[in-house]
Structure 1
Amino acid sequence: MDSEIDYRLDERCLFAEGESFGAAGSYERLSGRMIFRVDPAAEAQRVVTDIGLAPVDADGRVVFEADFCILKPVDLSRGNRRLFFDYGNRGNKRALQFFNDAPPTNDPRSRADAGNGFLMRRGYSVGWLAWQGDLLPGNGRMLLDAPVASENGRPITGRTRSEFIAVEPGTRVFPLSSLVSTRSYPTVSLDTRTARLTRRRYAQSVREEIPADAWAFARIESGGGVDNQGMEEAIIASDSHVFLPDGFEAGWIYEIVYEARDPLVLGVGHVAVRDFVSFLKHGETTASGQANPLRDNGIGVEKAYAWGRSQTGRCIRDFLYLGFNAGAKNRKVFDGVMPHVAGAGKMWMNHRFANLVLLPGQEHENHFSPADRFPFSYAMSTDHYTGCEDAILTRPDTDPLVIHTDTACEYWHRRASLVHTDTKGRDLPQPDNVRVYLWASSQHYASPLVDAPAKGLAQECFNVVATSMLFRAGLDNLDAWASEGTPPPASRIPARGDGTLVAEDMWRAAFPHIPGVALPRGPSKLERLDFGPDIDAGLIANEPPEILAGECYPVQVPAVDGDGNDLAGIRAPMVQAPLGTYTGWSVRRRDVGHGAMVGITGSYIPFPDSEDERGQTGDPRRSVLARYGTADGYVAAIRQAAEALVADGLMLREDVSRAVADAGEWGRPRHLVRL
């Protein structure tokens, strides 16, 4: 066999204090470790970079382990025989938070952790498996122990690159991975002359060299001193940290290129997901004879669906592109997938010295990233620069149904227009098994539980549009599509053909001139980058990559109405009945990278409350009172918008009352801006 799977069950207990979730009844929680043994020479995983250089056991198998967790009906016959697989963003469980409107937690146990119970009431078994092999323990993250590649026992070395952006003054140390949650590839030498540390104000600015004697590979330890000397600190040499005595200036982009060692074989994360879901869907017993926990009286999982947001949305696209949705006997692993806020990127985890937690290329952060490389679309297209013809989906026998969703933020930061255009920016029809939806005027994270809006590093408040109801309707639509052949509503995306997908200059001409509001320069560019001749084999030679002059893919954004809200896409109730302008972009404060865009939080720019205020401020947008008259008028508008989405099959009936309840008191606390 090409691969074997086994597991160790560490805990089995009731979930949600034994509460019964309708017809599905009570749920239980299983957790432990999955053990994988794979043949590195087998065709099924030969695409994994460096798997042939991983250590093997006496049988010539590569062995690795991963945490798993399953929530399932105690009586499987009462469930719906469907597996909902949450990819787990950066090792964190997210499905209950976004589908059940539950508090975020990596240890779901209590009744509160079930939220509104949506996934349980539908009868799903919910599964998690650690797939990211470069995480460090902490905060309950799920961990995969990825093997380290070597050449006949000798360490592998190579150039790698990291970026650091401090968010507050006084920061003097970063791990080389840039994040404390993530394993750093250690430097071969502590001599700073063998590396290069630079800084620049913006992504496109000229790099300023920081002299080798002005920084060190080191970390700081601090603690109380003796003899009333107060706090003391020690500077300790470290092959996994960078120390800048004068501190990293907030908002500036610092970049280190150094010689690293011991690359992890991170592509085995795809193998783990493939084999775990395949076992739960088709397997009877493990290699040691342990029973499939989702199989009952010979009946197992009938359909398996995957959901991932942001990092894990890109991971799903990468999984499909590399062919991992074909399991043993060429059977589909996932029948349907829901990549959310992935933009046009893939995970790009399958290369040497990959760092999986880093944000992919945005306007300011990690702009020159390998995450966004052709192909961008599920549909077949031609890269007009290279003549290469390719697509995310190229295996019709095992390709799943796809519901791809992006918010306004991904059009501004993550080049989402390229999901449904060709490389010249022209509308590109998608395959019949794909739906693409823009969640208009909403933002990347969009937590279902929002208190009064904050600003963080931005000049304006975060975008507060509520969208979790769209997840629930989307999953019902996907299940009906996979189970009954009932197609979901047609894609709702901005298009060049009808003028709802536009270049930055057309967007700027249409956006209202709101007093005191700074606009971004434009969406994040996508230059063609040269990472070296072996990039397709997972090896990066050019760090930083070379920019191919004059070669840039067209990134376009949704056109807006007179309020500045997106015209196309699925307009959530709060967008159809707005209390302000909700954007996919936000602009950094003066002290943290003035004028560059802030990550992926979007903006909420409130309407003037009254016509008097509008006249005083010169705001071109109608006031709240002129639109709705009273608080009851606003609630009625939200109800009407929600009912329209229900009629279109994009929102569930049960969510109308939730939207109406949230609209009370003028949508507070979600809209309560404290200046």
Structure 2
Amino acid sequence: MSPVRLEVHAREPFADGHRFAEGGAYEVLTATAHYTVDPEAPALHSITDLDLAPRDSDGAVRFSGDVEILRPVDGGRRRLFFDWGNRGNKRAVQYFCDAPHTNRPRTLADAGNGYLLRRGYTVVFGAWQGDLLPGDGRLLLDLPVATRGTEPVRGLTTAEFIVEEPTASLPLSRWTSTRSSPVSAAGEHTARLTRRRYPHSSPEEVPRTAWRFARLQGGGCDLRSQAVAVVASRSDLYVEGGLRPGWIYELTYQAEAPLVLGLGLIAVRDLVSHLRHDPTQPVGELNYAYGWGRSQTGRAIRDFIHRGFNEDAEGRRVFDGLLPHVSGAGRLDTGRFANLTVPGGQQFEDHLNAADAFPFAYAETVDHLTGAHDAIMKRASDPKVLHTQTSTEYWQRRGSLVHTTTDGRDLGFPPNVRGYLWSSSQHVASPVPQAPGRGICNYVENVVATSALFRGVLDALDAWVSEGVEPPPSTVPTVADGSLVTMEEWSRQFPAVPSALRPYGPNELYAVDRSTVPPVADRARRYTVLVPAVDADGNETAGVRAPMVSVPLGTYTGWNTRAPGQGHGALHEFSGSTFPFAATEDERLITGDPRPSVEKRYGDAAGYAARIRAAAEELAARRLLPDEDVERAVSAAADWSAPRHDIDLP
């Protein structure tokens, strides 16, 4: 029996039949994938609670998920491109095609510049995250719940709550899009809620009389919903007077009915294998399969490789090449009561997430704290990998550990991996130009545009896999050349930017005892986390410099600090900063800024645009930027890169 049955519900023309260069006309297939797995298969033994999933009369475990496919009607170039949808959202067309985000791409406008379609890719969106709730067109995966006979599995778990404005109630998952692990009947009476100012602060108990398992309901505009009520709920937390901004709340409780979340990785494995090899599949012949994931799904890719899932049930390689982006050194936590929506763990937020566990690097190395040997890449079935990350991953996601030993020595990459730092950029960069915001941070966000680099790495991966053309060499900071440094050295390098509150340090990583709930970090046993060195402007010296970084209008960092009342001074989530240069020398002198002004650097807007062109052409010559993006970079530089920058010069 095939492990996948693909039930196609609808076929419809995409973009009214518009023809995209090599891709030609496209159609959209909407389907449900029905999966069948053997829970006794040795390759699946790492999946938590699979032995407790309900089985059918044949002893198999069954589940299903959403699939959508953008298919070139005439076959295209026979390359499958799988979008590991971040939290159920379709993101590949948005980031590779500079398109607006939509979970229902149907129009020509939804295709943006059409890059993926012009190159003839069969774009596959498949659900893999099983704890999402319906809404906003998210891709959903219907997974089994672990049980012991007729009783649900129960156990202790921890949830962390941080809010930006007073909030009376939240789901236990902390996310309205995500299923909560409900509290058991007994757990309602034994749960404990604490709060603290910072992760290192001593927690204080929140009195049991001040909170309960409930949700606030009502408060709407309609007459019938204006009143509010507190409704008992085993999936929500209610705090009298509201959770307060700037505090970290931590709930420890007995949960029940966990999902078998690890099956999501098997869904990807079996769906892609089915599309490549099953003669009944509906997309036509495919020669190569690539995949891309960003942040959460970049971690999913690394976990997928590490656990050997790039080999299907028949022993065949699944993906020929993978592109994990901004994963940092993390993988997935698919253990019992895990929450896949929660980010990987930052300095202030979500620091209890078990995403960062040895091995961190693709190459084999030793955990100097435990003596364990391991690597992400260690099998003949492993794909080719181009790992990309921004400055933010070095500050918040322990990105240096991707290519160093656990005690901070250069390690590099195995032959089938390349790594690239996108210098001085932040975790998320909108592909659509927009004015920067500040949110609850001290500074406006990092404005560096990097979407063209996505197109560069995919072109390089395709040439590597299909033609044997080596990709550009890895471009990451190293200890050996002084471009990867300690916090102390970075502090000596960073310029005295007026009014800049520097970070306390990067997000550190300690050995953690996860046998306790909540887990306990051993601050005497620490992994070494290093950050990229910077030049006199404060911009990073190593890595792939996007044109805006090679020709800067300010200092661009991968970090931003929380504002007063919001955990003041701690690093904020995945936010970077922009510290604009003074427009004129007169402004620079009055503000005491040590960095030369925009006027002194470039003279006028034409001089700036000419420098941008030269920087883009240099990247294109190194095959890090498609040729077509040179003119895009120059066009975006008009009027001093507005609206990303606001420069008051002619």
Same fold (TM over 0.5): yes
Residues 1:365 and 2:349 are matched in the alignment: yes
Contact preservation (8 Å) 1:217, 1:241: yes
User: Contact 1:192/1:212 (CA < 8 Å) preserved in 2?
Assistant: no
Structure 1 residue 88 and structure 2 residue 72: aligned?
Answer: no
Contact 1:453 1:672 in 2 (8 A): no
Normalising by structure 1, we get a TM-score of: 0.94
Report the CA distance between 1:323 and its aligned residue: 0.5
User: 1:309-367, CA deviations, whole angstroms, 9 ceiling, x for partnerless residues?
Assistant: 00000000000000000013311100000000000000122x11110000111100011
Q: The residue matched to 1:613 in structure 2 has which SS? A: helix
Instruction: Give the alignment partner of residue 445 of structure 1, picking from 413, 421, 428.
Output: 428
Q: What is the 5 A alignment of 1:196-595?
A: 196-223=192-219, 231-285=226-280, 292-295=281-284, 300-349=285-334, 351-395=335-379, 397-532=380-515, 542-595=516-569
Q: Deviation digits for residues 552-575 of structure 1, max 9, x if unmatched?
A: 101000000000000000000000
Q: Is the 8 A contact 2:640 2:647 kept in 1?
A: no
TM-aligned CA deviation for residue 591 of structure 1: 2.1
For residues 602 and 44 of structure 1, what CA distance do their matches in structure 2 show?
40
Superposed CA offset, 1:568-624 (max 9, x none): 000000000000000000011102111111111200110000000000000111100
Tell me the alpha carbon deviations over residues 402-447 of structure 1, each in whole angstroms, 9 at most, x when there is no partner: 0000000000000000000001100002111000000000010111
- 2:603 is aligned to 629
Give the aligned partner of residue 6 of structure 1.
Answer: 5
Instruction: Give 5+ residue unaligned stretches, structure 2.
Output: none
Native 8 Å contact 2:346 2:573 kept in 1: yes
* Native 8 Å contact 2:22 2:77 kept in 1: no
Structure 1 residues 549 and 605: CA distance shift in structure 2, 3 A: closer
State the AA in 1 paired with 2:560.
S
Using the alignment, how far apart are the partners of 1:473 and 1:551 within structure 2? 40
The aligned length equals 648
String of CA shifts for 1:450-509, please: whole Å, max 9, x gaps.
311110111111001000111101001001100111110110000000000000010011
Identity %: 54
Q: Return the offset for 1:44.
A: 3.0
| 2:247 maps to amino acid | W
d(CA) in 1 for partners of 2:229, 2:632 = 54
- Once residues 611 and 347 of structure 1 are traced to their aligned partners in structure 2, the CA distance between those partners, rounded to angstroms, is 49
| Alignment equivalent of 1:111, drawn from 108, 113, 120 | 108
1:43 aligns with 42
TM-score, length of structure 2 as denominator length: 0.98
- What secondary structure sits across from 1:56 in the alignment? coil
C-alpha offsets along residues 6-50 of structure 1, whole Å, 9 cap, x if unaligned?
Answer: 122111101122110013210000012100011111123222111
Counterpart check, 1:64 vs 2:72 = no
Q: 1:115-154 to 2 correspondence within 5 Å?
A: 115-154=112-151
Q: 1:229 to 1:362 in 2, by over 3 A?
A: closer
- Name which of structure 1's ranges 6-15 and 631-640 shifts more when overlaid on structure 2: 6-15
Deviation at 1:293, TM superposition (A): 1.2
Contact 1:190/1:217 (<8 A) preserved: no
How many Å separate the matches in 2 of 1:180 and 1:24?
38
Mapped partners of 1:80, 1:511: distance in 2: 47
| Structure 1 residues 499 and 80: CA distance shift in structure 2, 3 A | same
RMSD: 1.5
1:383, 1:636 → 2: CA distance?
Answer: 48
One-letter amino acid of the counterpart of residue 47, structure 1: S
Which whole-Å CA distance do the structure 2 matches of 1:673 and 1:269 have between them?
47
Structure 1 residue 303, shift from structure 2 partner? 0.6
Whether the aligned pair in 2 keeps the contact of 1:409 and 1:585 (CA below 8 Å) is yes
- Give a deviation string over 1:138-169, Cα, whole Å, max 9, x none: 01000000100001121110011111111113
Secondary structure (helix, strand or coil) at the match of 1:329 reads coil
Partners of 1:663 and 1:624 lie apart in 2 by 14
Q: Which amino acid in the other structure matches residue 484 of structure 2? A: L
| Contact preservation (8 Å) 1:193, 1:212 | no
Q: Which moved more, 1:661-670 or 1:322-331?
A: 322-331
Distance 1:526 1:421 in 2: 14
Q: Report the secondary structure of 1:246's partner residue.
A: strand
2:185 aligned to 182, 189, 204, which one? 189
Distance (Å, rounded) in 2 between the aligned partners of 1:23 and 1:368? 47
